[in-house]
Structure 1
Amino acid sequence: MSPRPRLAASLTLAAPLALLLAACGDGSGAKDSSVSGNKQAAAVPQCANADTTALRRAVLDYITTADPLPQRFLSAFGTDSALPEDGFKALQDKGPTYFYNDNPKNQAQVRQKLADAGPYTSMLVVYKGRTESDNGNTVTFSLGGHYIGGEHEGKVSPVRQIMVRCDSTGAWRLPKPTTAPAAASPADASK
């Protein structure tokens, strides 16, 4: 018998055997391996889309806690500072949103549109990146901003690290702020 038919015969027998073994269990000898596997899967939260909903939560937190509160938004266009799509959609949901790039002619056009629309506080939201931890169940976004036009022209909104976690229900949430106990004043320490 030539090597080719032997290989074909071996594969023909091996494939059904592998399927049979896979269907029978994980080989651990546990009687209830499917239940333990389901418990393991249930223990790890699964958020629907690992990056978009988390980014949306972070962007909304950034713009709703900014001071002064922006009423219109700009997003960088064509640069590494541009918000990914879901972040841009979060801006659109909160108010009028414009693309803003590094071309001076285009910037002048956008600034004119902003001026024509009225004296609303406008912020350019800048994406600085993201890091993941906890097997992707915790994402930290770096976001910053600059006020464009109006009375707040040139004011910088500080870069913030905004952490978003996948909770036990599979939804992205901002961790609840924790309040640290107030530090004792020197006067209290002497008592």
Structure 2
Amino acid sequence: MKKIIQNIFGLRKDVGINFYIADFFYRRILRQNADTPWAVHFTSTVYFPKKISRGKNVYPGDSPGNYIEASNGIVIGDYTNIGPNVGIISANHNLIDNAVVDTAAPIKIGNFCWIGMNAVILPGVELGDFTIVGAGTVVTKSFAEGYCVLGGTPAQIIKHLNKDACSQFSKTKYAN
């Protein structure tokens, strides 16, 4: 019965029906994250969802406690996971006038990335494919080459990943 309901309504198989019930209550009745066209955890906040471009199987804000601000735009690649309490902030306030929001390049997060719990990604950052951002990491600059593990504050590369192994994984596990 559960599979029939999932197929009819296009529900994801990796979350329970209770997630969708809470999402309906908070988004449709209480109007929290009402403009977001995908299901969002009731403790997460997504600002400017229309400025978020997301790939296959990506649902920004589906983990608890996410804060996603996309006024300058956010692009997220296929099969990227965003952990709990992650902050993705695409704009800063002007240093002189807090009422003014400074423009910046959009945040770009590649395919098959993993953003760990309590990580923060700041304006203009670009992360290449297969970038893992460790828990609690603050990403202040770009790592466009990808295939790495980031950690620390500010973020730095703590490990490089094997490109061939990553490519093979993506081809075998997620072949169309």
| TM-score, with structure 1 as normaliser | 0.22
| TM-score, with structure 2 as normaliser | 0.24
Q: Tell me which structure has the larger Cα radius of gyration.
A: 1
Greater percentage in helix: 1
